[in-house]
Every structure is written in C-alpha cells, then in structure tokens.
C-alpha cells in the first residue's frame, strides 16, 4: 500500500509508528506532510519515510490517504485536494466532521471516518472506523490494518461516532484524572509519590487487561475483589458517596455533546 498521512502531528506520527513497527507497509511507501520544513526533515530522518510540505504531491503519490488535521483545517484543506483525492481511499480522523461533509468536499473519493486515541503512541490505542458510501470490504480491511497496528480497532455505524469521541477519544484524559486521584490517596497515606503513581498506573492497566482478556463484566470482577466486611467494600461505598459513577458517566455525556458540534464550529478544537 502507498500511504500518505496529511498532517503528521502527534496522532499522525503515532499511526505512522504503528504501521512501521508492524511492517504494515515499507517506509518507502509512506509519505507524510507537515506545515514546517524543519518538522518534515525530522520525520524523514526519524522514520525513514518521505516527508514534505506539499500536500498535493503526497496525495498524488498515494493509494490511501490518512487525513489527521483539526476540523476547521479539514474544511479549508480538503476541497482544494478533491481533484488529487479522486478515486482514492481517504481515512479522516477529524473529530465531529460527518461523512456527508467529507463526501461533499471529496465527491469522487471513498471515505472512512476514524476516531483513534492518544494511547496509539504506545500501540495501546482504541480506534473506531465508520465507512461511508461506496467503501469496499477490501478498503475497510486496509483501514483496519493501518489502525490495528496501533492497538485495537472496531467498526461501528456513524451514528455512534460522537459517543466514541466522548468515550475513547476524550477518555484517556478522564482516566489520567482518576489515576492521579488514586495516587494522591496513596501519598496521603504515606506512600512516596513515584511509588504511588506506579502502583496506581499498573493497577489501572491490570484491571483493564482483565476486562479485555477474560471478557468478564467489570461488576463481576469487582465482586471478586470485594470480601465481606473488608477494606475494598469500605472504599467502594466511599466512592459511591461521592457519586463517582454518575460523575464519570456525565463527563462522557458532556464530551459527546460537545463532539457533536465540532464539525460545524468554525473554531472547533480537538477532543
């Protein structure tokens, strides 16, 4: 596959790193773009790929184009690339931008919406794909291969993408707050800060892996840890006193509501 990544910032570079690590395609088959020549030179030296500030040249040399720019930038950029993108597969990671918008800007392209998250940086990402009209099964599998190299990847209907953005797109930030709070509790009870952070981080990672690898419901796994009259149930009830369940659920709700407006806002930020 000849692949171009338009806007190779933090997320684009994470996707690039995953492809290279998994040998999805050869470095010589990948072209990345950035606005600054200095950054392009750094990317070329670090990853051994072609790097340029010329979006049109990058698109013309590719079969598959990953667009990783901010929503407002996509609105400006993609119509100018419509000719070069004709008959190519475009995978767009812009939060809140709808398939109908992409298809209006690039009427001759097959388009897949993608929502990856920042743990793609360490190959532990979560990406959701939503294919547009005319996307073939072969094209969808090619997109899945690109993002599966950076973690897990599933396909959902577009109607779920705002909730995906709120949950897995913004979710790492919410998880960092929970992790920090757990570590603070350890520090309050006398643990050194570095040890408390390591304990909290590994505990969260281990709990998440248990859910993914056992396929057990989180409530069932929680009950396995919770013995009668023990310390765990005491801590859990304290969490319930603070309404942690509804607070976290409302955080996802609010993030989803904001995500639903990102594609229409002229100054829309990233998640």
Which two structure tokens, joined as six digits, stand for 3?
């692949």
For 109, which DSSP code?
Answer: S
269: pLDDT confidence band, cut at 50, 70 and 90? very low
At residue 268, the pLDDT reads 40
What structural domains and CATH numbers belong to the chain?
A: 3-158 (3.40.50.720), 171-261 (1.10.3730.10)
Q: What is the pLDDT averaged over residues 48-66? A: 96
Residue-wise pLDDT for 254-266, tens only, equals 999 999 988 775 4
Question: What are 93-133's pLDDT values in tens digits?
Answer: 998 899 999 999 999 999 999 999 999 989 999 999 999 99
| H or E element that contains 208 | helix 193-214
DSSP string spanning 150-188?
TEEEEE--GGGHHHHIIIIITHHHHHHHHHHHHHHHHHH
Q: pLDDT, tens digit, for every residue of 234-250?
A: 999 999 999 999 999 99
Question: 């475009």: which residue's tokens?
Answer: 90
Residue 266 DSSP SS3: coil
Torsions phi, psi of 203, nearest 5?
Answer: -65, -45
How many CA atoms lie less than 13 Å away from 4 in the CB half-sphere?
25
Give the mean pLDDT of 84-101.
Answer: 94
Model confidence, pTM: 0.90
Check residue 121 and give its pLDDT: 87
In the block, residue with structure tokens 């392209």: 109
Give the pLDDT of residue 212.
96
């Amino acid at each position: 596959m000849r692949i171009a990544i338009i806007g190779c910032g933090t997320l684009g570079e994470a996707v690039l790193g995953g492809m290279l690590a998994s040998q999805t395609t050869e470095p010589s088959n990948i072209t990345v773009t950035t606005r600054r020549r200095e950054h392009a030179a750094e990317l070329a030296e670090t990853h051994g790929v072609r790097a340029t500030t010329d979006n049109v040249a990058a698109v013309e040399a590719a079969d598959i184009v990953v667009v990783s720019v901010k929503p407002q930038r996509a609105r400006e950029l993609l119509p100018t690339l419509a000719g070069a993108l004709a008959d190519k597969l475009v995978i767009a990671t812009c939060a809140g931008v709808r398939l109908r918008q992409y298809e209006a800007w690039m009427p001759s392209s097959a388009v897949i919406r993608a929502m990856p998250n920042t743990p793609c940086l360490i190959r532990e990402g979560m990406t959701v794909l939503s294919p547009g009209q005319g996307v073939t099964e072969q094209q969808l599998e090619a997109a899945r291969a690109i993002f599966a190299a950076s973690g897990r990847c599933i396909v959902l209907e577009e109607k779920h993408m705002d909730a995906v953005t709120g949950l897995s797109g913004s979710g790492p930030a919410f998880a960092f707050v929970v992790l920090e709070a757990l570590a603070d509790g350890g520090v309050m009870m006398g643990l050194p800060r570095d040890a408390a952070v390591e304990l909290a981080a590994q505990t969260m990672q281990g709990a998440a892996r248990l859910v993914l690898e056992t396929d057990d419901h989180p409530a069932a796994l929680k009950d396995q840890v919770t013995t009668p009259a023990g310390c765990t149930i005491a801590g859990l009830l304290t969490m319930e006193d603070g309404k942690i369940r509804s607070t976290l659920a409302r955080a996802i709700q609010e993030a989803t509501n904001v995500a639903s407006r990102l594609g229409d806002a002229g100054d829309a930020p990233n998640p």
